[in-house]
Structure 1
Amino acid sequence: MTTDTRALDAGPTDEMVADVFQRGCTSRHVLESVTGRWGVLTVAGLRDGGVRFNALRRRIDGVSEKMLAQTLQGLERDGIVVRDVRGTIPPHVEYSLTPLGRRVADSLTALIDVLEDAVDEVGASQRAYDARRGS
């Protein structure tokens, strides 16, 4: 469902259409949240199962505590991540993917695999581009 949608037809049983190209569509917001720099790495980092915050932070080299916390909150709000607080002393908090999050992670890791496999090709392209531009 979207926040700003178009109806397929007029009438009391209007069906809503999600359209990521529409500014107010919820799917656009979620796409931005998931595909942002830290969103991709967070979702991919959770693909293999539940992880505690600090373990995830260590896995995602370069992310600050604040940015990871904000990213996890956004992904939790969007239904991609679930935060499980266990009533132990001290409290044990673990993050994992929802079923939707697992579907998203599968797609993201497929993209990551393509990009990692193409590192040499991308490097050659960048060097050729830079040479043409005189960089």
Structure 2
Amino acid sequence: MKIKYVQKYSDITILVDGPYNPPDNIDTDAFEFEYDRFRSLLVAMLSRYGKDDPRGHGDYSVGYYTGMSRGVGVVLNNKKLFGHEFIDSIKTVVDAFEKEYVVVVSAEHGLGEDVYICITKDRFAQGYAKKMRWLTPFGDIFK
């Protein structure tokens, strides 16, 4: 699936639920194990920034397995985390994992505005914000 320009939350749902880089086989147990392994690595890396809580009460929420797609959503609830260090940590996990995943960071809850960044193995795919001031500090990472 080609990454499209993310402009709203429903675009994230399409990208993360995909299918993005679906597995070749249909062994859902094996794929769910792989997905959980990726998610666990991501949560472990981000734990130094705060608490993961899928109900939205933590500093961020890392999504769970939703189907045969290698896409993970991260909802940022604490605007203090929105910066290079947090995004670079996600990129580190994405680059290190043996399969290609896409991670879509949604900062709309933390910042109060629509701000999204898509991260893939080969690049920071794209960013979108209604007010570009949120993405200006990241200008150097988008290729």
TM-score (norm 1): 0.25
The two structures have a TM-score, normalised by structure 2, of 0.24
**Which has more radius of gyration?**
1
- Greater strand percent: which structure? 2
Larger relative contact order, structure 1 or 2 (CA cutoff 8 Å, min sep 6): 2
